[in-house]
Chain A
Amino acid sequence: MAVASLPNQHVEHAEGGVDRFYEETRDLRLTGFLFFLFSDVVLFSAFIFAYLYLRNSGQSWPPPGIARLDVAFAAWNSVVLFGSGATMHYALENWKHGNFNKYAGFLIATIVLGIAFLGGQAYEYTHLYFVDKISWAGSGIFGASFFTLTGMHGFHVAVGVVYLTVLLLQSVHGVYTKEKYFGLTAGTLYWHFVDIIWVVLFSIFYLI
């Protein structure tokens, strides 16, 4: 049989394995993951379109009776999130170069910054709700679009924090090697994706 002479033979089969016939090459999974991120972009775009459409169909923005958002606070919170993008980048780079300790340090920093961002968002929501009396269902299209979009984004950050924690534990337990680390690549891409979405949301809610 030709089998013995084939390179590329390693196939993870068995129960928890990935695929019956193909190595799920990094390539396949990467392409699949990029498509996934792409449709996530579309989901955000749908709501962003809805927001801009509603905003432009009214007279003034923010609608009468709605307090302005606290831009300075949100800007600092954004810095926290973008900082976590940078630490994530360095985490992956260090993994590729085999510096495990630095990798772990940067990854932990990313997770901590992610949690800090969520904390900031929680503070902002509470403030809006109790002080400015703005809520999801009770403040017209402003509340609807602001809380839906930033909430979707916050949810993505929370999922990301959990995912990065899983990655950290997995890498401690030796799931990834210097050559095979698809999970880390995916985590990094996802985290950058969350960052980029925030750039857009920050611009359309706080800047324009």
Chain B
Amino acid sequence: MAVAATHVGGGIADHVHPEPQGFIRRYVFSIDHKIIGIQYLITGFIFLVLAGLLAEVIRTQLMNANGGFVSNNTYNEVYSIHGSAMVWLVVIPLMTGAFGNFVMPLQLGARDVAFPWLNMISFWMFPVAGLMLFSSFLMGAPVAGWTEYPPMSLQGEAGTSMWCAAIFLVGISSTLTGMNFMVTILKMRAPGMTLTRMPLFVWAQLATAPLSMVATTALAGALAALFMERQFGVPFFDPTKGGSPLLWQHMFWFYSHPAVYIMILPAFGMISEILPTFARKPIFGYKMIAFSSVTIALAGFMVWAHHMFTSGLAPFMQLPFMLLTFVIAVPTGVKIFSWITTLWGGKIHFTSAMLFAIGFVVLFALGGITGIFLASVPTDLHLHGTYFVVAHFHYVLVGGSLMGIFAGFYYWFPKMSGRMMNEALGKWHFWLFVAGFNGTFLPMHWLGFEGMPRRVAVYDPQFQFWNRVESVSSYVMTFAILLFFVNILVSLRRGKKAGPNPWKARTLEWQIPSPPHYYNFKHVPTVYGLPYDFSEPLPYRGLDDELNDAPAPVPAGAH
């Protein structure tokens, strides 16, 4: 059995190496993709708490129309770091670094990613970059928002340069991860796992990886230019020296529009695993979902200027960007219909993971719809720069990405830890979170329509009522997240033993013990079909020894 594996798999040697001993090699500078995934998860959650506290500073300031909680300048610093941290230190690393690292190689039937050492290095860049970003508070944090438009970003204090360096570093980290994942997925699939037999979460990572690779490198260029201009006076963006502030906007959005897909495509993948498992039905439209991810990734490079409709873009440029943005919403809609059809007539198990997955579909769809409002030039001229935009991207990023992270976490926690999460707490978490979330962000739609501008520390008193509703709701949301962390800690100690496959799921990671051995698979399995046919026997061969205590083969001479 193993021989076949070697021939088909190319570089796969069917034996395992002993696990390194000693705390440092095992848990700190580990090269095991599973440990690295968990390291990303913990670090990302720590930054989620920090950036979440900044959000509460924002909401507390906005309780009153005339502010008063922090100074106007501090307020600007706080929302700038809040946004930057949530995007670069929370959502992106959790989507790719954490879940990608832990789950993807297991689903491929691989024993690690292509370049484990590189993986370790990418990880360690991330907390360092995070510390750099937060340290900018000590030297005058950036005040121009997460988008740092010049000329304001050229005038910011020293912290703005630190911001450039921090984002540059975390960007390099995500570029390297993207390369690593590309090679892993293209070259290290178990024998028999053709591209069209890959689980949809792997497809999602495959669509995300080139975005991390290409878009993030372009961002690195923009950041380097901003840094050089700030530190050495090299003119790129300063109009008084012949530079162009619009150039920054082009470069930034050429990255940041694809980046919104880095932040959502992996969640699409998670949802596509979770819905069929708990509806006990094959995923509807496997190929449509897989290909729409790829389409979104490619088309995502051609719509960046929809962020610049009010920036003085030539009118003949506006029309194509508007139409292309409409077009790119189509593959997203295709996915939503596929998910609904998957649920249709299924025997649905409402676990916490499933609740978050269904919540994702609903809330993300709302965010997609407001996206269309913003994509049409005439409405955007009115809505740009208002709270409507804030509502839009929080529906896609919190209702979408963060709910996806929660769904994925409830789903894969048993695999990571060997224990079950507490379902009762999980449901409290879900309902409080959804209530708090909608209370916080739903009113922003009409506040935006009525013209309340974003990024202001004080506002017109007519908006005060809804702002208070939002602030109070945001505390509920924070409390829900607190419950989530309590749940993790309680379940790690007291949770029921999970066993290998508590959800009776069919992808490869569920066919091995929880948590998996260091080497993942004793023998590399062979794959015969898609993992989503719940009525058929499992489409794998070579897994017989995974759940008994047969020893794993060791290479000659390494005993």
Contacts and interface: CB of A to CB of B under 8 A. Distances in A.
Nearest to A6: B6
A53 B553 contact: no
B213 interface: yes
B220 interface: yes
A141 interface: yes
A9 B556 contact: yes
A54 to B, nearest CB: 6
A70 interface: no
A52 to B, nearest CB: 10
Contact of A45 (B6, B12, B218): B218
A46 B188 CA distance: 31
A57 B235 CA distance: 14
Contacts of A4: 556
A130 interface: no
Contact of B13 (A1, A23, A54, A143): A23
Interface string A24-38: 110110011001101
Interface string A65-102: 00000000000000000000000000000000000000
Interface in B244-296: 244, 247, 250-251
A3 to B, nearest CB: 5
B11 A23 contact: yes
A158 interface: no
A163 B187 CA distance: 27
Interface residues on A, range: 35 or more
B24 interface: no
Contacts of A145: 236
Nearest to B218: A46
B112 A21 contact: yes
B111 interface: yes
B555 A11 contact: yes
A20 interface: yes
A53 B187 contact: no
A57 to B, nearest CB: 5
A204 interface: no
Interface string B217-256: 1101110010010001111100001111001001100000
Given A13-B17, A58-B242, A22 B12 contact: yes
Contacts of B111: 20-22
Given A28-B187, A32-B114, A46-B251, A6 B241 contact: no
A22 B13 CA distance: 6
B116 interface: yes
A78 to B, nearest CB: 24
Contact of A32 (B115, B234, B553, B556): B115
A43 interface: yes
Nearest to A63: B242
Contacts of A193: none
B77 interface: no
A136 interface: yes
B15 interface: yes
Question: Interface size for chain B: under 10, 10 to 19, 20 to 34, or 35 or more residues?
Answer: 35 or more
Nearest to A36: B179
B558 interface: yes
A112 interface: no
Nearest to B235: A144
A144 B13 contact: no
B13 A8 contact: yes
A148 B13 contact: no
B396 interface: no
A203 interface: no
Given A4-B556, A11-B13, A38-B213, A31 B235 contact: no
B183 A31 contact: yes
A57 B241 CA distance: 12
A24 to B, nearest CB: 7
A54 B239 CA distance: 10
A32 B179 contact: yes
Contacts of B519: 21
A143 B523 CA distance: 59
A141 B236 contact: yes
Interface in B527-558: 553-556, 558
B31 interface: yes
A196 to B, nearest CB: 17
A22 to B, nearest CB: 5
A111 B433 CA distance: 62
B138 interface: no
Contacts of B220: 43, 46
Contacts of A148: 225, 228, 234
A162 to B, nearest CB: 20
A132 interface: no
Contacts of B214: 38-39, 42
Contact of A54 (B1, B179, B187, B236): B236
Contacts of A140: 235, 241-242
Contact of A3 (B235, B241, B553): B553
Given A3-B555, A141-B242, A22 B188 contact: yes
Interface of B: 1-3, 6, 10-17, 31, 111-112, 114-117, 175, 179-180, 182-183, 186-188, 213-214, 217-218, 220-222, 225, 228, 232-236, 241-244, 247, 250-251, 519, 523, 553-556, 558
Give the 9 A-B CB pairs with smallest separation, nearest first.
A46-B221, A25-B11, A2-B2, A21-B111, A42-B217, A39-B217, A140-B242, A137-B233, A35-B179
12 contacts: A1-B553, A1-B554, A2-B2, A2-B3, A2-B553, A4-B556, A6-B3, A18-B117, A21-B17, A28-B187, A43-B220, A140-B235
Given A20-B31, A23-B11, A54-B242, 16 more contacts: A1-B554, A2-B14, A9-B556, A11-B17, A13-B555, A19-B115, A20-B116, A22-B111, A24-B11, A36-B179, A39-B179, A39-B213, A45-B218, A46-B221, A47-B225, A141-B242
